[in-house]
Amino acid sequence: MPKFDTTRPVVHRAEQMFDLVADVESYPQFLPMCESLKVRSRKERDGKTLLIADMTVGYKLIRETFTSQVLLKPDEKVIETKYVDGPFRYLDNKWQFVPSANPEHSEVKFYIDYEFKSRTLGFLMGSMFDIAFRKFTEAFEKRADQIYGRDS
């Protein structure tokens, strides 16, 4: 039931931001609460890539692993994530990277909608997930600044 939807202007090209978010194996290095991420499978077809990945998130003594299907659409500059298995009832996530008038800048659109299966887990981790998801776009922007430089 929690949803979060935001659009952030960034000083990096849409292609750079797409590549950064598509590099899911790097998430544990900088993403809040992400302790590990393992790609189980990767299939490429028609210019798109479909990943099945396990992400382990943690907060204090609680650890949960969930499996997602991640569809990378580089031509559209869109990344769609669908929940497969784990502690959620559902989880839908979409990233869209939109070029702006300045070719060195873009807008990052981030949407997530999820609900935990367990009310107890939702109570324990829900507020932390909400805070973490709200910080996701900021975390990726900071990562882009580190990789591409602030004046890319």
Reading the block at residue 36, the tokens are 């590990």
Q: Enumerate domains of the chain plus CATH numbers.
A: 3-148 (3.30.530.20)
Specify the pTM.
0.89
Q: Is the pLDDT of residue 36 over 70?
A: yes
Separation of alpha carbons 34 and 132, rounded Å:
10
Q: Is the pLDDT of residue 133 over 80?
A: no
Separation of alpha carbons 5 and 47, rounded Å:
27
Separation of alpha carbons 19 and 79, rounded Å:
10
Q: Is the pLDDT of residue 92 over 90?
A: yes
Rounded average pLDDT over 34-59? 95
Question: Which pLDDT does position 152 carry in this prediction?
Answer: 43
Rounded to 5°, angle at Cα 128 from 126 and 132? 115
How many residues comprise the chain? 152
Q: What is the pLDDT of residues 3-17, one digit of tens each?
A: 888 899 999 999 999
Separation of alpha carbons 66 and 57, rounded Å:
8
